[in-house]
Structure 1
Amino acid sequence: MIVAGFGFRAGAPLESLRAALRLAQRGHPSVTHLATVTDKLSGLSPLGQALDLPVLAISPEALSSVATPTRSIASLAAYASGSVAEASALCAAGRGARLLGPRHVSPDRRATCAIAEGHLP
């Protein structure tokens, strides 16, 4: 399973999400699932529909238990996680998951995306 995890600002447009995914996806296998923190699920659902991919919701508690290679001050303040995108991807990909690279930021800086490979829990 290849999961694209997302973090994004409220009201981030679909194009911001697509741009972050394009940057993160370069050179990696095709994504099979999308994931984000529970309270951002409605913002990611349009991308899931557009790509015909399932969207997984990750609890804030689960995010805070995952170590991430990058650290965002905003993410730490809101979710006690260094990166919502990285932690979402790792949580959704399951036990033993690994990031295929650090998160990528959309050119407008409204969305981030990280790709993880793993197996469902």
Structure 2
Amino acid sequence: MIRILLAEDDDVMREYLTRALERSGYAVTSVDRGTAALPLLERETFDLLLTDIVMPEMDGIELAQRCADIAPDTRVMFITGFAAVTLKAGKAMPQARVLSKPFHLRDLVLEVDRMFEVGNASGHI
């Protein structure tokens, strides 16, 4: 099973994303800030870091860069509602995907499916 580490400071958004991904067959561990994600990246193996970019304490770009050092095989997808930050993320982590808010949960799941070339079994969201 594909394991996702979700870092999102908005409680409601974090819950929605976790539920949608779990319903689609992904194992999700979620945290409310980047600094909470680091110890998990050091202890566990994740296939994907799904992170908001704008968060308190440590932004998603710094988290992704630290993730690349700790777990270089972990893929990265950013979610953000800020267009200017999207450009910064693209420059900092060119191999990462960026999904701009607002997005439909189905779009998120389809992007994750594409990253791991999963069949379209998640069309039920």
Query: Normalising by the residue count of structure 2, what TM-score does the alignment of the two structures yield?
Result: 0.35
Higher helix content, 1 or 2: 2
Query: RCO (CA 8 Å, sep 6+): is it higher in 1 or 2?
Result: 1
